[in-house]
Amino acid sequence: IYTCMPIATPVSLPGKAATAVDLLEADDIFWLVFDFSFIDGKPYDKATFDAAQPVAVITESVAQELAKMMLQPASTRSIAAS
């Protein structure tokens, strides 16, 4: 279950404006095939995937963008597509 091209998808925090991020759908095997370094957390496993639990693995740049959104007042927030 891999998408061949990322899909620009809006994400937001509760009460905040959305920003576009590239979404790539993957199953548990994706994390066995490709090598990633995790700053925090871990890849999801087969049990999590089979249970259809909502999981998001985000890049450091997306985490930084969401952190900036949390700190900006609504009147000064700008939305940048990535």
CB 48 within 8 A of CB 41: no
Residue 73, pLDDT > 90, answer no
Q: pLDDT tens, 10-63? A: 888 888 888 888 888 888 998 889 888 888 888 989 999 999 998 888 888 888
pTM score, whole prediction: 0.64
Specify the residue for token string 């927030």: 77
Question: What are the Cα distances from residue 53, in Å, to 30, 79, 80?
Answer: 16, 28, 28
Measure the CA–CA gap between 66 and 5, rounded to whole angstroms: 23
Token pair belonging to 23: 């979404």
Mean pLDDT of all residues in 3-12: 80
